[in-house]
Structure 1
Amino acid sequence: MIVIILALLGAVLGWRLASKRDGDRMDKLQYGAAFLLGFSVIGLFLTLIIDILV
């Protein structure tokens, strides 16, 4: 669940950052995809750490 939430959050943040920088649609998609992947990895590690500690 943490991974999905962070993935969606990352996609939205990436899209908004590209919009702030006046990027076109492809820039927004690229930023959204990159942030989605990055935040997904962070979410995966958080999930593993929580699973190990609990």
Structure 2
Amino acid sequence: MACTMIVIAAFILGAAIGWIRATRLDGNRADKLQYAAAYGLALSVLGVFATVMIGRMG
């Protein structure tokens, strides 16, 4: 269960980073949603890799 939380937390963190980045670039709402989705998915993939690595180590 804790491993799933890593992926969820990574997605939320990535979405927040993407939203803030688009805001700093003066993007409109669609830009902010696109950046949030892209960053969220990218960090989720990293979270999945981290989850796999933690699972194989322990």
- The alignment's TM-score, normalised by the length of structure 1, stands at 0.98
2:40 aligned partner, one-letter code: L
Per-residue CA deviation, residues 1-46 of structure 1 (Å, 9 max, x unaligned), is 1000000000000000000000000000000000010000000000
Could you list the structure 1 runs, at least 4 aligned residues long, displaced by more than 2 angstroms after superposition. Answer: none
Which of residues 10, 13, 23 is equivalent to 2:14?
A: 10
CA-based RMSD = 0.3
Q: Which runs of 5+ in 1 are unaligned?
A: none
Unaligned runs of 5+ in 2: none
TM-score by length of 2: 0.92
- What residue number does 1:31 align with? 35
